[in-house]
Amino acid sequence: MNPPDLMASRLFDKSVEAFLLAVENYNKPTIRYRVEAFAIFICNAWELLLKGHLIKTRGLESIYYHQSKDEKRSFSLERCVKTILTNDKDPVRLNLEKIIELRNTSTHFITEEYEMLYVPLFQSCIFNYSEKLLAFANINLGDRVSLGFLSLTATLDTLSLEAIRGKYPSDIFEHISQLNGELNTLAGANGTKFAIPVEHRFFLTKKKEEATECVTVVPKSANPIAIIKSPSDPNNTHTYSLKKVIDFIKKRLIEKKIVLLLNGSPVTFNKYHCSLLINYFDIKNQTDLCYIDKHEQRARYYYSQKAVDFILRELCKDPENILTKLKTKKVPGAKEF
């Protein structure tokens, strides 16, 4: 291995270590410095990854500012981002730049409410890093750690500006309120590459062996809760168009190194294959999996994360035979998208 490739390989390995530290520290329940620690380690992971990519593609000198021979200073993370992620409208870049801002200011000002402001960005940043690690370093995180490990655990309730107003002086409240509005605006404009909402949902079951927590229903409790049978706003839960479903599953299959076969030949997951599964498992008629928007002349279908996970799970059970079996069953409507 030549010196540039060897250096790049070392930086990639260190990048993965920094990434794992970021996620591990964030998910430890005893650590209170989780937001700041995550920002520091994830930025370090990105810097090492991007510098490794520069060295791999442009040589050892590509990560240094042009200075005297006696003094070499390598690029900052901000410079690496602008050099490699050249589109300043790219949601991946916007996400990373906001986390860099947090890292740069966390030693001066931060409150515990920052967790609920930034955890949607952190979750996107994790998936963005995973994709770039595979693209730049040909390293699949699925080979190093279970993909379920990549989900962050938030410890706070939904952000309440009214509660913050009563908790902090007016200048701090205004700062948090303005930041919340800015991040929400960017999230709405840039989708899941910028921010992924983190939700905790609880479902009631009478089977004790399936439960993770036990509760008692008290009609006149001082701490009432509401029980809902289905999500109230499908715009927040059913966010995947068919194209997004296919793109997501294709990426996960690559990460898992799973090859799909149809009639014994390798195939790339496409609309036809997805339609086979959707129709066979009657996904469109299950409200927790599919939402049908009938506001326009032609109905549009949107799928939930649960639906995507279900399809991926079924594919992974028998990747060599499932498509062939479904095709021979002549699933009704398989060519309709």
CA 220 to chain centre: 40
Number of H helices, E strands in the chain: 13, 4
Assign 6 a pLDDT band (cuts: 50, 70, 90): very high
Asked whether the predicted pLDDT for residue 73 surpasses 70, the reply is yes
Residue with tokens 């979750």, as numbered in its chain: 123
Query: Tens digit of pLDDT for each residue in 115-148?
Result: 778 888 999 999 999 999 999 999 988 777 776 6
Residue with tokens 């062996």, as numbered in its chain: 209
Q: Which range has the top average pLDDT, 41-50, 156-165, 182-191, 243-252?
A: 41-50
Mean pLDDT of the chain: 82
% of the chain at pLDDT higher than 70: 78
pLDDT of residue 32: 77
pLDDT of residue 333: 47
pTM higher than 0.75, yes or no?
no
Where b means 16+ CB within 10 Å and e means fewer, 184-200 reads: eebbeebebbbbbeeee
Asked whether the predicted pLDDT for residue 23 surpasses 50, the reply is yes
pLDDT of residue 266: 94
How many C-alpha atoms does 263 have within 13 Å on its Cβ side?
3
When pLDDT is averaged across residues 145-171 and rounded to a whole number, the result is 69
Query: Tens digit of pLDDT for each residue in 204-257?
Result: 667 666 665 566 666 665 555 555 555 455 666 788 899 999 999 998 898 888
Query: Tens digit of pLDDT for each residue in 253-297?
Result: 988 889 999 999 999 999 999 999 999 999 999 988 999 887 767
